[in-house]
Amino acid sequence: MIELGKYNTLRILRDTNVGLYLGDEATDEVLLPTKYCPENISATDEIKVFIHHNNEGRKVATNLIPKIHLYEFAFLQVKAVAEGIGAFLDWGVDKDLMVPFREQKEKMETDRWYIIYLDIDTKTDRLYGSNKVEKFVHNESITVKENDEVDVLIWKQTDMGFSVVVNNMHTGLIFENEIFKPLNIGDKMKGFVKKIRDDNKIDISLQPIGYENFIDANSEIVYRELAKHKGFLSITDKSMPDEIYLQFGMSKKAFKRALGSLYKLRKIEILPEGIKLV
């Protein structure tokens, strides 16, 4: 079955003057309009495409990259508001995404940005957006555990820090005193489950657990790069500045300072051949 709001890998059924008709193993088919058709294709090729509705309400394929997928959250901008209908948002494909008035937590305004959830109306088989974040997140049944790496979306700022959406299904909190870099509503990043409380509230850290009280953000960057590369990188304070910048996006001076901080905290070993997590 061809799924709306998602990427589908489909085979070419036939080539027409309006585009390619694509299909799955069942009997479903969908049009990929000519302007999105790749060059140098053969009848045996399969194509990965995103499926949505066109202005006539029919399923259509595109190779444009959507800003949001079905059952996920994203930070989107309102292009227009139609009285009695809803708001229309830019989500990266030809037809704007509608957020009906009933799905707006507050009345949306043109040009403003909002956290949006992409859902589907099972009665009409139509995609729609919702700004009522609380409807689509829950912490009754937790699917993560402490120390897990998770996907985080910055949702809103509170007196305690930032509320976040975790893995598109839970809510969590990053405490203000554990934030080492600027955060903005709508930012997406990796985080780590620091603690799951008795009431199922989730504390999120932006650095791997066990890595606390860093002096600066560059130390965090170096530590996370090491964690991504299984705890070792063949780079030292004697490496060339260009090599350091390519790996960490910082100057050699900043890198050496970060190494010193991590070494004092006993988080790394500095070896002749590279740096290693303790």
Domains for the chain: give ranges and CATH numbers: 7-62 (2.40.50.140), 73-134 (2.40.50.140), 149-205 (2.40.50.140), 217-277 (1.10.10.10)
- Print the SS3 string covering 105-154: CCCCCCCCEEEEEEEEECCCCEEEEECCHHHHCCCCCCCCCCCCEEEEEE
pLDDT for residue 209: 66
Rounded-to-integer distance, Cα 194 and Cα 27, Å? 47
Task: State phi, psi for 83 to the nearest 5 degrees.
Answer: -60, 135
pLDDT for res 2: 92
For the segment 93-125, what is each residue's pLDDT rounded down to a tens digit? Answer: 999 999 999 999 999 999 999 999 999 999 999
Q: Can you give the pLDDT at residue 135? A: 96
CA distance 85 to 145: 41
Gap between the Cα atoms of 235 and 249, Å rounded: 14
What pLDDT score was predicted for residue 165?
98
Give the pLDDT of residue 174: 95
- pLDDT for the residue numbered 30: 95
Q: Which residues of the chain have pLDDT under 50?
A: none
User: What's the confidence (pLDDT) of residue 261?
Assistant: 86
- The span from the CA of 16 to the CA of 10, in Å, is 16
Q: Are 247 and 235 in contact (CB under 8 A)?
A: yes
Alpha-carbon distance of 172 to 200, in angstroms, equals 10
Query: What pLDDT is attached to residue 44?
Result: 66
Residue 164 CA to residue 179 CA, distance in Å, equals: 13
